[in-house]
Structure 1
Amino acid sequence: MPSGKVFLISGVTDMRKSIDGLSLIVAETLELDPFSESWFIFCNRTRDKLKILFWDTNGFWLYYRRLEKGTFKWPRPSEDGAIHITKQQLSWLLSGLTLDHAKAHRPLYNLEV
């Protein structure tokens, strides 16, 4: 799981782009730092392919996932081009759920025994 923030790059991304093309989208279009600890997640038009780009110590990782059946529940595009999500929401998205999955348990705080 990511150690930094997780950003969904809203809209549609050409999956032919590799590390250089995707990092340019992050840097120039979104004005975010591709060398940060953040994960940047891109999706294709048919929502059955994802690419995850992130920097690790001295190089980029590029994960690619293709679904054989079904689609990812990709959110609608935002005006700023990126949507910050939690690690839990990333897990939901990769499992085929929506980002606001209503059946998830809410965290509990300040409990006593």
Structure 2
Amino acid sequence: MRFGEKPVYLCCGCTDMRKSINGLMTLVQQSFSLDPFADALFVFCNRNRDRIKILEWDGDGFWLYFKRLERGHFHWPSSDGEATMALNSEELSCLIDSARLAKKLSRSEVSERKIS
């Protein structure tokens, strides 16, 4: 998934995925002191790191993207230091694709090596 060249603000740690657009907007405003109407992407992940939501204002309404992994998890930063982390869109794509890459890398090695 490609998002263009918008700044990306990642919510470190976990977020309650029951929050919809209004709840995530409030989180962006109050917890991060950012404007949810900015030309940016705001990214949230659940406790199990198998679901993400991305909030985006497009000028006349909000988009809420949602991805649920069937296997694996996203490599997500903890909230030990900062509440948010700034990324670019390329780094966001790598983060989203990290679960797919981990799945590819964890394939079991072939034990039989016969040529028929």
Q: 1:9 aligns with which of 8, 11, 14?
A: 11
Are the aligned partners of 1:2 and 1:39 in contact in 2 as well (CA < 8 Å)?
no
Contact 1:30 1:80 in 2 (8 A): no
Q: TM-score, normalised by structure 2?
A: 0.79
Where does residue 60 of structure 2 map in the other structure? 58
SS state of the match for residue 44, structure 2?
strand
Structure 2 CA distance for aligned equivalents of residues 40 and 48 of structure 1: 17
Which position in structure 2 is the counterpart of 1:95?
A: 97
Runs of 4+ in structure 1 deviating by more than 2 angstroms, as ranges, are none
- Residue 86 of structure 1: how far off its partner (Å): 1.6
Aligned 8 A contact 1:43 1:50 in 2: yes
Residue by residue over 1:27-71, the C-alpha shift from the partner in whole angstroms, topping out at 9 and shown as x without a partner, is 011100000011000000000000000101111000000000000
Structure-1 separation of matches of 2:74 and 2:81 = 20
Q: For the Cα contact (< 8 Å) 2:38–2:57, is it kept in 1?
A: yes
Q: For structure 1, list consecutive stretches of 5 or more residues without a partner in the other structure.
A: 98-113
Tell me the C-alpha RMSD between the 2 structures: 1.3
Q: Is the 8 A contact 1:8 1:83 kept in 2?
A: yes
2:44 is equivalent to residue 42 of structure 1: yes
Q: Measure the CA separation in 1 of the matches of 2:16 and 2:46.
A: 6
2:34 corresponds to which of 13, 32, 35: 32
Deviation at 1:72, TM superposition (A): 0.3
Please tell me the residue identity of whatever aligns with 1:9. Answer: C
Q: How many residues align?
A: 97
1:77 alignment partner, one of 34, 58, 79: 79
Q: Give aligned-pair identity as a percent.
A: 45
Which structure is larger by alpha-carbon Rg, 1 or 2? Answer: 2
- Taking the aligned partners of 1:53 and 1:3, their CA distance within structure 2 comes to 15
Displacement of 1:78 in angstroms is 5.0
Please state which structure has a larger fraction of its residues in helix.
2
Offset from partner CA, 1:89-113 (integer Å, 9 cap, x none): 111111016xxxxxxxxxxxxxxxx
